Amino acid sequence: MNRNEKVANSIKELAAEFLNQEASHVSLLTVTEARCSADLKHATIFISVLPATKEAAAWAFVRRNLGKLREFLKEKLPIKNIPYLEVKIDLGEKNRQKIDELLRE
């Protein structure tokens, strides 16, 4: 595992820990993946939300708290520069759930 993968994996785990502490638990918000740019200046956090009707609210919540999440990462992540963060809905996970649903029919 290279440094980029290690940092991405650490961001994923720490983001999940942070969101578990901060979220209202009205929906199930899961961090499915994190990807870092080659220079480690940018990181994208992918989330999935159940039920799907709460997706927009959960995405907005995470976006509003990216600054706090970045501060949390500064405390916990042993790297010099913390990447700029963005959040996206994990469409791969969403598609997998849809396929599972279709297969059950």
CATH number for 46:
3.30.300.20
Please give the model's pTM, rounded to 2 decimal places: 0.88
Number of domains within the chain: 1
Contact 97, 54 (CB under 8 A): no
Mean pLDDT of the chain, nearest integer: 92
The answer, yes or no, to whether residue 11 has pLDDT greater than 80, is yes
Between 92 and 30, name the one with better pLDDT.
30
Query: Given this model, what pLDDT does residue 52 score?
Result: 85
Range of the domain at 42: 3-104
